[in-house]
Structure 1
Amino acid sequence: MGGRSDVWPELSWERVGPLVEYLNPLVQIGGKYSLDMPFETGWGNVVLDVTPRGLRTPTYRQGDVAFAVHYRLLDGDMLIEADSGSATLPLADHSVADRFVAFREAAAELGIPAPRSTRICEIPGSAPKFEDDREHRPWDAGAARLVWRAFDLAAAGLEAWQAPFQGHRPRVGVMWGGFDLSATRYRPHRTTPRRDLPAFQQNGELTEYVSVGFSLGDAETDPGMYAYIWPQPDGMDGRSWGVDGATWNSAAGLVQLPWRVLREAPDPHRAIVAFGDAVYDAAVDLAGWSTDLLGPRCDGWHMSTTPAHHP
C-alpha cells in the first residue's frame, strides 16, 4: 500500500457526513444484538468487521437461529444471513424508521427476534429511537464507497500494528455506537471507571488499555487517526508521535493524525503502524506497560517459508 493519492483518497466530513448520519443509526440496528453476547473486556467482541463489500456484525445465536447482518455499502443494501434463509433490504431513499420496520419484519420471517432495544445511542442530537427517525435519506453511492475505502485502508494499517501484540487484543473493527474503527490492546490491571459516563463506557474502563483508531470526524473534527491511553498518564505533552503532523490534543485527550496529513506520507500504511507504535511507546514510558508483550513484526509469507532453525 503506497502513498498515491488515488489509493488514499481525499476525505472530508462535508463529503461523507450526510451518509454517515444515516449509516450510524442503521448499523446500530444489527449491532444491538451483540449486547446479548457474553461481555468481553472493553466490549471488544461487539465490533463490525470491515469486509470486501462493507461492514458485517459477528455471528449471533438467538434461540435456534444463527445469523449475521451485513451492511453492504458497495451494493447499497442490508443483507440478513441466517441458517434459516436470507433477506436483502435496499438502503437507498429511505428513513431509519423505514429500514427498522423492514428489518424487523424480514428478521421475523427468518425466526429472528427484534432487537431488545431500539434506542439510538452515542449520536448527539439524534432521534430517541429508530422508529422516531423519519427523515428521508437519499443514498450517495460515491460517498458509500469512500466510507468503505477509508475504513478498509485504515483497518489494514491497524491490523499490521496489532499483529505482534501478545496480550489481549480484540479484532480490529468498527464500534457501531460511535461508528469509529478501533484497535485496542489491554493489560489485566484493574482501574476505576469514571462515574460520569454511561454504564457501557464504564464497563469499557474496567482495565487499562491503549486504543488506536480511525474516525470519519464530524462538523468540528477532521477525519483521521486518533489514539489514547487509559488511564491517561502525565507527560503526554512534547512527545514525538511517529509521524510528522501527528499531535497531542490535550483538550480532547487524544493523539491525532489527520487523514489529510496521513495520505501525504510516503507510505500511509507504515505511517499508521509508526503512529500506533509511538503511542504504545508512551504507554511503556509513562504508564509502565511492558515491552515483553511485543513479539517480532515479520512478513507472514517470509515466516511461512523460512525453517525455524535458520538465523
Structure 2
Amino acid sequence: MSERLRTWPTLVHDDLAPMVGYVNRVVQVAGKYTLDAPFEVGWGNIVLDVSPRGLRTPTFRQPGVTFSVHYRLLDGDVLIEADTGSRTVSLVQRSVASFFEEFCDAVAELGIDPPRTALVCEIPDCAPTFQHDDVERTWDPRAARLMWEAWDLAAGGLEAWQAPFLGNRPRVGVMWGGFDLSATRHSTRPTEPPPHRPAFQRNAQLSAYVAVGFAFGSDSAPEAGMYAYIWPQPDGLEGRSWGVDGAAWHADAGLVRLPWDRLGGTAEPHRAVVAFGDAVYQAAVDLAGWPADLAGPRVDGWYMSRTPPERVRAAEKARQH
C-alpha cells in the first residue's frame, strides 16, 4: 500500500450518500452507450473501468467516430475523447438535467449520437429521466476522492482474484445501474431465471455464476463493504468460514458480507479480498458442483515468461494437493 493510502479510508454512509447518488445518476448517461455493444454474459459489456482518476467507459465505435467517456472524479469533470476532438463537461454545482443537456451538446459537436434513452434505472424513488432531475447538486471533492479510493483498493484485490480463473470472467468494473464494483466467474451450465422480474435481471441469470464485489451500502443497509453470492444459491452456506475474520453469511440478504472496516483491519487488505473471493469460490466447488481445477496458478507475468509450462502445471498440482 502506498504512503498516500497508509490510512485506510473511512466510509460513512451519511457523508457519502449525496455524492454516491449524484455520481450514480450521471455515470448512467454515458453508461447507456454500453447497451449498444454486443451483449456479454452477465452484462459484462456494460461495466465502467476504475481509472487512475475516476470511472471510464470502454471505447465505443459509431459510424464515423470512435470515442470514450471518462468521469474524472478527482477533477470534478467528464472528459469525452474522440478521434474528432475532445470536450470537457463540469460536474460541479449543477443538476443532472443540466449535465445531460450539456453532455448531449458536447457529443454532438464531436459527431457522436446522443444516448438512445434518457431513462434513469435501478435507483429507488428517482426522477424518471435525466431531464426531470433538476435538483441542484453540490460537488464534494473529499467524498469523490473517498469513493475513488474505495473503488481503487477493492478493484486491485478483485482483479488479482479473477486473474487465474480459466473460464469466462468479464473484466472487473462498476455496474452503472446498481452501482456496485463487480467481479463474476461464469459457468456454461444454464439456469432458470426467476419469473416476473425485469428482462435485464432475468438475462443476468442465464447461467450459473459466482459474484464477488464491493458496494457503498444503501439507506436500508448502510454499511459499505465487500459482498458475494453464488447463483443459483446452494444449500449449506450457513456456518462456513469465508476466508477473512468478520466475513459472514447473511441469509436474509442472500449475501456473504465483509464490512469495509473489518477489511481495513486486516494486515494486508489486498490479500484479504483475494482470500474472501477464494473462500466463496470454494463454497461453490463444495456445495454447487463447480470444478476445482478452473483456477490456475496465481503468479505474475514475469514468472510465466520464465517458467516452462510443465513446471507451472506441476507446481499448481502440488498446491491443489
TM-score bracket, shorter-length normalisation: over 0.9
The answer as to 2:87 corresponding to 1:99 is no
1:55 counterpart letter in structure 2: L
Structure 2 match to 1:152: 152
SS of the counterpart of 1:145? helix
Structure 2 match to 1:230: 231
2:236 counterpart letter in structure 1: G
SS of the counterpart of 1:257? strand
SS of the counterpart of 1:210? strand
Kept in 2: contact 1:2–1:269 (CA 8 A): no
Structure 2 match to 1:132: 132
* Change in CA separation of 1:234 and 1:308 when aligned onto 2, cut-off 3 Å: closer
Kept in 2: contact 1:54–1:71 (CA 8 A): yes
- Tell me, in whole angstroms, the C-alpha distance in 1 between the residues paired with 2:52 and 2:172: 15
- Tell me, in whole angstroms, the C-alpha distance in 2 between the residues paired with 1:195 and 1:114: 33
**Cα deviations across residues 184-225 of structure 1 (Å, max 9, x unaligned)?**
000101111112221111111001100000001122320000
Higher alpha-carbon deviation: 4-13 or 78-87: 4-13
Structure 2 match to 1:142: 142
- Tell me, in whole angstroms, the C-alpha distance in 2 between the residues paired with 1:5 and 1:89: 29
For 1:1-311, what aligned pairs fall within 5 Å after superposition? Answer: 1=1, 6-221=6-221, 222-306=223-307
RMSD across aligned positions (CA): 1.7
Q: Please report how far the alpha carbon of residue 300 of structure 1 lies from its aligned counterpart in structure 2 after TM superposition.
A: 3.3
2:286 counterpart letter in structure 1: D
* Change in CA separation of 1:167 and 1:237 when aligned onto 2, cut-off 3 Å: same
Q: Please report how far the alpha carbon of residue 15 of structure 1 lies from its aligned counterpart in structure 2 after TM superposition.
A: 2.1
- Tell me, in whole angstroms, the C-alpha distance in 2 between the residues paired with 1:293 and 1:171: 17
Among the aligned pairs, what percent are the same residue?
A: 62
Q: Please report how far the alpha carbon of residue 307 of structure 1 lies from its aligned counterpart in structure 2 after TM superposition.
A: 5.7
- Tell me, in whole angstroms, the C-alpha distance in 2 between the residues paired with 1:251 and 1:86: 47
**Cα deviations across residues 8-31 of structure 1 (Å, max 9, x unaligned)?**
211121221110110001000000
Kept in 2: contact 1:210–1:230 (CA 8 A): yes
TM-score by length of 1: 0.96
**Cα deviations across residues 134-170 of structure 1 (Å, max 9, x unaligned)?**
0000100111011001000000000000011000001
- Tell me, in whole angstroms, the C-alpha distance in 2 between the residues paired with 1:308 and 1:184: 27
Kept in 2: contact 1:73–1:148 (CA 8 A): yes
- Tell me, in whole angstroms, the C-alpha distance in 2 between the residues paired with 1:303 and 1:5: 30
Kept in 2: contact 1:16–1:143 (CA 8 A): yes
- Tell me, in whole angstroms, the C-alpha distance in 2 between the residues paired with 1:197 and 1:3: 46
1:280 counterpart letter in structure 2: Y
Q: Mark the runs of 5 or more structure 2 residues left unpaired by the alignment.
A: 316-321
Higher relative contact order, chain-length normalized (CA < 8 Å, sep 6+): 1
**Cα deviations across residues 115-152 of structure 1 (Å, max 9, x unaligned)?**
11111000001110000000000100111011001000
* Change in CA separation of 1:36 and 1:226 when aligned onto 2, cut-off 3 Å: same
Q: Mark the runs of 5 or more structure 1 residues left unpaired by the alignment.
A: none
**Cα deviations across residues 256-306 of structure 1 (Å, max 9, x unaligned)?**
000011000111111100100000000001100001211011133333345
- Tell me, in whole angstroms, the C-alpha distance in 2 between the residues paired with 1:2 and 1:80: 30
Normalized per residue, the structure richer in helix is 2
2:259 counterpart letter in structure 1: P
- Tell me, in whole angstroms, the C-alpha distance in 2 between the residues paired with 1:94 and 1:189: 47
- Tell me, in whole angstroms, the C-alpha distance in 2 between the residues paired with 1:4 and 1:300: 27
1:161 counterpart letter in structure 2: W
TM-score by length of 2: 0.93
- Tell me, in whole angstroms, the C-alpha distance in 1 between the residues paired with 2:309 and 2:159: 24
Runs of 4+ in 1 over 3 A off after TM superposition: 1-7, 299-311
1:94 counterpart letter in structure 2: R
* Change in CA separation of 1:248 and 1:3 when aligned onto 2, cut-off 3 Å: farther
- Tell me, in whole angstroms, the C-alpha distance in 2 between the residues paired with 1:5 and 1:115: 37
SS of the counterpart of 1:128? coil
Q: Please report how far the alpha carbon of residue 6 of structure 1 lies from its aligned counterpart in structure 2 after TM superposition.
A: 3.3
- Tell me, in whole angstroms, the C-alpha distance in 1 between the residues paired with 2:224 and 2:199: 27
- Tell me, in whole angstroms, the C-alpha distance in 2 between the residues paired with 1:233 and 1:307: 38
SS of the counterpart of 1:161? helix
- Tell me, in whole angstroms, the C-alpha distance in 2 between the residues paired with 1:20 and 1:99: 16
**Cα deviations across residues 63-110 of structure 1 (Å, max 9, x unaligned)?**
211111100001110111111111001100000001000001111111
